[in-house]
Structure 1
Amino acid sequence: MTASSKETILIALGANLPSARFGAPRVTLEAALAAIAAKGVQILRRSSWWESEPMPVSDQPWYVNGVASIATTLEPAALLALLHGVEAEFGRIRGARNEARLLDLDLLAYGDRRRDGPEPPLLPHPRLADRAFVLLPLTEVAPDWHHPVSGESVRQLIARLPEGQRIRRVEG
């Protein structure tokens, strides 16, 4: 099945550790986008890069985050496998949740598809509505996006974000 032009497919990118191969997190994220595109996924739009405090707050370095809108013929599970493959190519070893990382690629939404079963990917991403580092960049690539489950707009989701999330745009 081919993703139609009406299906908004969104991915999140993040990193807070330098890579031996690419250097600073922002450079690693740019390289990750290029690697995703080289595998046949079309990058339609990319947000600015944003820096955000780790969640939960810790002594880790701040993250660099962004969101991209993409087009692909891959189904959600195959797309998630591709993203995890890119993470592995870049040296990510999955360990504890919320740990510092060289690269984090998440499938946020795949059109209006919903999936909450035991097998990944969960759609939409179960924590995207609570994260400023996802929602603020998301407004740049899909300002009219609505959460497939709640029906809320991205701006409504931003308005009800939990307090205390520190985030700043670092590049336009």
Structure 2
Amino acid sequence: MATERSGIFVALGANLPSAVHGAPRATLEAAVRFLAREGVQIVKRSSWWQSAAQPVSDQPDFINGVVEIGSTLPPDGLLALLHRIEASFGRVRQTRWGARVLDLDLIDYRGQSTSGEGGGLILPHPRLQERLFVLLPLQEIAPEWRHPVSGVVIDALIGQANVIKINKLE
């Protein structure tokens, strides 16, 4: 698959071990490699960050990160690929905000905005501005990023996001 310019951001998260890949961090590393094997260019990747589950629950902590990618896939095709990867890693969608082996969210696709009309894809991700576990890794790799709809800079979004305990991992 040929690759176009970047500007596509995918958030990765996990808080359950994978039967094949092990601990959440190892699973996320494997997911990044899997994306590359599927023809997606990994342009930049953040550090891994650890945070409590949101909304707050008794789930194990999440490990999260963000990658900037390049791809010729259209947004819905890329989302379908992300869902196939999640399923191949053992993700079962049962409970909203439940514990998971792997979560891959399309955060921003080259600044495009879609409403999700008819049950379709919503871009940018509708809750990204609330989530420090997405914003901090995104800021790390794209410090000049602005929200495609509001135009608010990432530093301001971080200042307005829900406060959570979050730590950058080495």
Class of the TM-score when normalised by the shorter of the 2 chains: over 0.9
Aligned-pair CA distance for 1:74: 0.3
- What residue in structure 2 maps to residue 125 of structure 1? 125
Q: Which residue in the other structure is 1:64 paired with? A: 63
Aligned to 2:27: 28
Q: Residue 141 in 1 paired to residue 141 in 2?
A: yes
Instruction: Give TM-score scaled by structure 2 length.
Output: 0.95
Which letter maps to 2:113?
Answer: R
Please give the secondary structure, in 2, of the residue aligned with 1:12: strand
* Counterpart residue type for residue 87 of structure 1: E
The SS at the match of 1:118 is helix
- Post-superposition Cα deviations, 1:80-115, rounded to whole Å, max 9, x if no partner, equal 000000001111111110100000000000011000
With the length of structure 1 as denominator, give the TM-score of the two structures.
Answer: 0.94
What letter matches 2:130 in structure 1? D
Q: Deviation digits for residues 49-100 of structure 1, max 9, x if unmatched? A: 0001101111100000000000000000000000000001111111110100
Unaligned segments of structure 2, at least 5 residues: none
After TM superposition, give the deviation of residue 119 of structure 1 in Å: 3.2
Q: Closer, same or farther in 2 for the Cα pair 1:4/1:20, shift >3 Å?
A: closer
Pairs aligned (count): 168
* Equivalent-residue separation in structure 2 for 1:28 and 1:86 (angstroms): 11
The gaps in structure 1 that reach 5 residues or longer are: none
Deviant stretches of 4+, over 3 Å: none
1:15 alignment partner in structure 2: 14
Equivalent in the alignment of 1:154 = 154
Residue 3 of structure 1 deviates from its aligned partner by 7.2
